[in-house]
Amino acid sequence: MGNTDKPEPQSKSKNKTHLIQNFYLENDLFADTDSDYTNGMRYSLAASQTKNVEDSKLPKFLKTANLKLLKAYEGFFPKKAKGVKIGTRFIATFAQRMYTPADKEPTKVIIDQRPYAGWLYFGMATHLRTNRQLNTLELDLGIIGPAALGREIQDAVHDVRGITKFQGWDNQLGNEVGFSIIFERKNKTQKFHFGERLEADIIGHWGGSLGNVATYLNTGVEFRLGWELPDDFGTSALRPGGDNAVSGSTHEGFHLFASIDTRLVARDIFLDGNTFRKSHSVTKKNVVADAALGFSFNFHRFKFSYARIFRTKEFDLQTKYHSYGSIAISYWRKI
């Protein structure tokens, strides 16, 4: 069992194109807490095809963006091996994340706790993949600060749920245009078979991010065990480079997964504070790790996943590790 790529199955039709909709929700209320990375939401539209982009039935804006990104992306993928089909996928993302300190009541800056912050952004990514390898190049561009509407959305949710509101949002990071350029490579083993249907695989990844929002190098691995493992590259939390653009299989299956991601962090605006203005900040830790345990199942054109993530301390004065829950729902259709 090696990592040698084999030709991807070919469709009898001229084009084999799918649109995949992904919705992610992450919240620490799943872990009965309400602090630090407290909420994240992301919707993404993934266009997946294995034939020429020019001849595909993609919406015009997806086709144009896909072609431009592919031209900028040519040097990131190894030369095409004989008999190996390289599939292309384009991802458009709209997302928001928010961060709060641990104490809700203080109206002034809490020196020993992380800053309030919201991050609202649009992302574009392109995938190049074979059976065993997936390369992701992503650009995220948006706004950090009051314009990201972190306070408004959190207050609305707390009103509906009858939860006490955070009182210190006046101290959040100031408005700042934010960007990150992310590259990530995933490599997947062939499946290990145990009996007639039980199977497993291992997916390793490495990459990094460059920008005023986040600059880091990361690496990690995911182990999956179950029935009819999906033809994708794992179940990522709502992190840059995490979309998988599943292939559109109608197989029904269920699996468990465990993963770890470790980051060497040079910059994190949500801890370091604003880039060009004075703001609250804390002394971050340069090495941070996430461990995740969860389950996933496929049914016809749907995929549902849930994970519990455990994150090590991110700054010096943080009193304990952080934990939150992550839900991902995907739906695909042919076009």
Per the CB < 8 A criterion, the answer to whether 125 and 140 are in contact is no
Query: Which regions in the chain score pLDDT beneath 70?
Result: 1-17, 48-59, 61-63, 65-86, 237-250, 335
The pLDDT of residue 47 is: 74
Per-residue model confidence (pLDDT) at position 70: 65
The topology under which CATH files domain 17-334 is Lipocalin (2.40.128)
| 3-class secondary-structure state, position 241 | coil
pLDDT at 120: 97
Predicted TM-score of the model (pTM): 0.85
Please report where in the chains the tokens 């650009």 appear, as a residue. 139
What is the structure's pLDDT at 108? 95
Cα 89 to Cα 91: distance, rounded to the nearest angstrom: 7
Q: 280 in helix, strand or coil?
A: coil
| Residues 138, 293: Cα–Cα separation, whole Å | 26
Residue pair 129/89 in contact (Cβ under 8 Å)? The answer is: yes
Closest CA to 288 of 203, 211, 220: 220
Alpha-carbon distance of 286 to 265, in angstroms, equals 5
Return the closest-CA partner of residue 94 out of 124, 118, 69, 127: 124
Q: For position 169, what pLDDT does the model report?
A: 97
